[in-house]
Every structure is written in structure tokens, then in C-alpha cells.
A and B are shown apart, each in its own frame.
Chain A
Amino acid sequence: MSLASQSISQLRSQLISGDIAPSDILDSLAKAIDSNNNDIGAYLSHDLETAKSEANSADLTKPLGGIPIAIKDNINVLGQPCSCASKFLDGAYTAPYDATVITRLRAAGAIPFGRTNMDEFAMGSTTENSALGKTTNPHDTTRTPGGSSGGSAAAVAARSAIAALGSDTGGSIRQPASHCGVVGLKPSYGRVSRYGLVAFASSLDQIGPLTQNVEDAALMLNAISGYDPSDATSLQQDVPDFTERLDCGVSGMKLGLPTEFFGEGIDPAVRKSIDAAIAKLEAAGAELVEISLPHTEYAVATYYIIAPAEASSNLSRFDGVRYGNRVDQPEDVLDLYHRSRAAGFGPEVKRRIILGTYALSSGYYDAYYNRAQKVRTLIRQDFLNAYQQVDAILSPVTPTAATLLGSDKDNPLQQYLADIYTISANLAGICGISIPCQPITSDTGTSLPVGLQVLGPHMGEQTLLQIANVAEQA
């Protein structure tokens, strides 16, 4: 087995024993990228030389000592490009600092290696909105890897990354993890600092890991969690050791099955796979409880007001003045803004900026944005009520397995509706994880991964990982 295809814990024991050096892992990854990046396109770029020089000084006594980590292209790594897969920043931005998650990964001995593809500014669920390259699903290259962290998920699935960082605003870690058959964890809002993450929707965004297994996700979360004075929304709470309770089992736990998440619209094959995974958790000693999240049917509508509204505000910083590409020969400063933004942004980003600006504009603010914030309160309350009864909630990650490339290109609403099971977690601020379960067979005979979603209460990652570990081994 190549080094690139091994998990963090497998590699760590060989690094500690001295059987391998960090540069051996990097060589193995570079080879894997060379052989599959033409087909898979998980990476936008990588810099082997810099990574190697960092690997030489990596402290192998640290928890992630000598482990290379792939980074989604919206997280700043000092001296590297950070383009958000947008023409606006492509070739025109070099990160002048490390994001806090990068500082923390480095402190844990890890080496940031490679920039993974994504939907432009994290807006999308197929990675097809990248302006800089195509990424395909390693399990079936006629299909998308999901998104927006599609490059990170595909890299881990194609064994051209040991582990990766992604960001999740409405499912952008969990959904590609599900489609690519890897583990993807969205931490609770406030668990992980977002300083240095290019902001999309600030009340929803969280950074999290995509890994080969649950244990690696726990190791990554250990490294990146914790209060950061540079992010006012990060919470001053102790960070437990997330590996501590991995083997504690689910005996006696109550797991909720929301009626609203198992209704119409799920592919029957996906449903069967999820049901089997749930049955295994029951067999392992968990008690299944039917619950209700009554405002679920309003989640997509709520999200597609709040997220674009925040995006329209956050993306106003891309005006062609301080960074990024600027059009030639602007007539005046307004012309500079208008044309630089027109040339730099792709269609989905423009669509969401317009939608968000509309929702915030005079005369519509109360009808849309303010109302959506109130419905958000109700959605959050649904979850708080549910966690009075259960330890965690189980559901599919998506209604279907990975879709064919190009299938929903001209129908954005259709794509948005597929976010139904993931976006509530962002609106409520809770944590969630996708764990691979029984794959299904596509029309063309390929095997497509399916993900079981476990949703835990706010700051309930230890319980989440404990359940995920059982689901993974079942």
C-alpha cells in the first residue's frame, strides 16, 4: 500500500519508529497527484519543494507531526495562492498570512500541502462552479464529487491526500464527503476559528476536516479547535481530546430519526443503505426514537435568503481596489468596481450577490431577510427541543448519490433543494458528520458512495465522533 493511501494514525506510527520520513509521504502524494490529477482534478496547485523544506523541520513528536494536509482554496496559507477557484483572485493574490487553522496545524506538526478545487467562493454543490478547473468523482468520473469542498473530498477519496481541510456553509464538507465516500465533519459554530477563511456567509461558515476515517477526523479536530481572539465568533470553551471516547460505543444512547428527513424525495437505493446503517447502530445498542423537526420544510428558503444576503455583503470587498484582478483603463472608480466584478465573478456568484442584495434592499428587508432570521430561530428551536429527547440525530446526507456532470447546470433551484438535509445544521449552529455506509449501484454499474449523517448538539462533537466510529465499523 502506498504511503499516500494510508491514514494519519498508520503513517504516524511509521514516522515515530523512523521507518519513513515526512518527505517520503510527500513523494508518494506527488506521485499520486501526477497519476490522477488529469482525470480527477482535485488539486489546483501544489508546491512540493516548499512542503519538503517544511517537512525537514517537522516536529515528529507532535500529534500530526510530519503529516501533509491538503487545503481548500479559500483558506489562507502564507506565501501560497488563495483564489477561491475564482478568476477574480486567480494569479492575483498570494496569502500574506496563515489562517488560524493553518497556524494550529503547523503547531501540531502538520504540513499544508496543495490547494484543492472548489465551487467559486464555496457557492455550489458540485465543484462545477470552479472557474479554474474541473473535478470529477474518483468513484465514477462521469459524476461530480459534490461540493463546494469537492477537491478536498476527491483528493482524500483518490488517495492523493492523507486528509484535507474544507469549509461548510450549507453542507459543503458533509455532502462531498458523502459523494466521495470519505468522512467529513462540520464542527459546531464557534468551535473552530475562521480567521483567514475567505468569508462566504459569516453566520454559517465553519472549517472542518475531510479524512479517510473517523479517528483521523478526531485527530484533525483536536488540532484545529479552540478559541481565537482574531475571530470574535469563536467560543471560549475547553477543547476535549476528541479521540478519547471513540471506542465507548452507542449502548444506551438515544438516536433521533426526524420524520421530515425520511419523507418523499429520497432515492430508494439511498434510503435502503441509510436504513441498513441505522439498523447496525440499533444492533450496537442504541435506542431509535422518532422525532419531529417541524420547520424543516422552510430550511432551504431560509438558507437561500440568509446565505446570499451575507455573501452579498462579504463579497463587496472584491472591488478590484486592494487585491485581485482589476480591469484595464477604468473610466472612474465606479466603472472600476462594476467591470472588475463583472469580469471576475462567475454566474453562480453573480446570481447569489444579486439575490442577497435584493433580500437586503429597501422595501424587501422585512419581508425576506428579517423574516428568514425569525424562521431561523424556529429551526434552531426545533433542534434544541429534539436534543432534550435524544443524544444525536441520524439522516441521509443527500437525497441521491453523486449526480452526473452537467446535470443541473441551468436549474439552480433544483440544486438548492438537494441541500435539504445538510443546511439546517448550519442554520442551527450544531455539528454534523458524514460517514460512508453501504454504496449503491448506478445505472451504468458503477459503485457510488452514500453517506450517513449524524447531527449532534452544539459543541457535542465528542458524542458525534463516538457514534460515527460505531457507524464506520458496523
Chain B
Amino acid sequence: MSKEHIDVRYVAALARLDISDEECETFQGQLETIIGYIEKLKDVDVEGIEAITHPSVVFDRLREDAARTGLGQAELLQNAPDSAKGQIRVPKVVDAS
């Protein structure tokens, strides 16, 4: 068997995603198959070909720097799982040490 392409647990951690041992094992097999298939892109000669980020012909369009009305505080907070004093509350992020 060839060397494995992906360290699923490590990559999941990069994506801030906990996975169970069972998921890790299932994903490992499935993703190896998928990445093995994707390897076929290495057969394409891309020398001198420009990479495109999206298929549109328009890039870097700027709008006028003018104030406009957006959503208000109440609308923005209505879906927050935890809020207080007009702000979203999260666990403490500053390290005490």
C-alpha cells in the first residue's frame, strides 16, 4: 500500500473541528480514495497557464466610499447564542498566566 496522503486528525484540528476515532478512520479511507483520484491533475501540463480565482471578467471593483444603512445591533444580536450588554459573550480569551 502506498504512503497515506493526509493526516486527518491534524487537518481537522486546523479546521477547528473535533472528530471521533470512528469518524477519523472512516474519513481517512474515504479521503485517501478521493485524493488518490484528484492526483490525476498532475498529468495536466499547466506550464504557463494562468490560475483563475473565479470565472468572471470583473475584478477589484470598488464602490464609492459612502456611508449606508446596514443591519442594526438588535438584528445582529438576535441569532447570537449568548449575548450581554449589546455584545456577544464568549469564554474568556485572555490567558490568565
Interface string of B42-63 (1 = CB under 8 A from A): 1010100111111110100101
Beta-carbon nearest neighbor of B36 in chain A: A413
**Listed stretches A145-153, A212-220, A262-270, A369-377; interface member:** A369-377
- The answer to whether A428 and B46 have CB atoms under 8 Å apart is no
Tell which of A323, A357, A458 touches B14, judged by Cβ atoms closer than 8 Å.
Answer: A357
Interface string of B75-97 (1 = CB under 8 A from A): 11011111000001011110000
Interface string of A346-360 (1 = CB under 8 A from B): 010011011101100
Name the B residues within 8 Å of A203 (CB-CB): 53-55
With the chains together, A305 CA to B54 CA distance in Å? 14
- The answer to whether A412 and B34 have CB atoms under 8 Å apart is yes
- The answer to whether A375 and B41 have CB atoms under 8 Å apart is yes
- A341 in contact (CB, < 8 A): yes
For chain A, the count of residues having a C-beta within 8 Å of the partner chain is 74
- Known contacts: A295-B44, A341-B18. The answer to whether A235 contacts B56 by CB under 8 A is yes
- A368 in contact (CB, < 8 A): yes
- The answer to whether A373 and B51 have CB atoms under 8 Å apart is yes
Name the B residues within 8 Å of A345 (CB-CB): 17
Interface string of B5-17 (1 = CB under 8 A from A): 0101001111111
- Within the complex, the shortest CB–CB distance from A322 to chain B, in Å, comes to 6
- The answer to whether A354 and B8 have CB atoms under 8 Å apart is yes
Chain B interface size, as a band, is: 35 or more
Name the A residues within 8 Å of B49 (CB-CB): 374-375, 377-378
Name the B residues within 8 Å of A357 (CB-CB): 11-12, 14-15
With the chains together, A401 CA to B52 CA distance in Å? 33
- The answer to whether B78 and A94 have CB atoms under 8 Å apart is yes
With the chains together, A358 CA to B13 CA distance in Å? 11
Q: Which secondary structure dominates chain B's binding surface?
A: loop
Name the B residues within 8 Å of A190 (CB-CB): 56, 58
- A301 in contact (CB, < 8 A): yes
With the chains together, A370 CA to B49 CA distance in Å? 11
- A324 in contact (CB, < 8 A): yes
- A387 in contact (CB, < 8 A): no
- Within the complex, the shortest CB–CB distance from A435 to chain B, in Å, comes to 24
Tell which of A301, A320, A354, A410 touches B31, judged by Cβ atoms closer than 8 Å.
Answer: A354
Tell which of A300, A301, A323, A361 touches B80, judged by Cβ atoms closer than 8 Å.
Answer: A323
With the chains together, A323 CA to B83 CA distance in Å? 11
- The answer to whether B17 and A353 have CB atoms under 8 Å apart is yes
Q: Give me the interface of A with B, judged by CB distance under 8 Å.
A: 92-94, 96-97, 189-190, 202-203, 229, 232-233, 235-236, 295, 297-298, 300-302, 304-305, 312, 316, 319-326, 330-339, 341-342, 345, 347, 350-351, 353-355, 357-358, 361, 367-368, 370-378, 380, 410, 412-413, 416, 427-429, 458
User: Given A333-B92, A378-B44, 6 more contacts at CB 8 Å?
Assistant: A96-B71, A189-B56, A357-B15, A374-B50, A377-B50, A413-B34
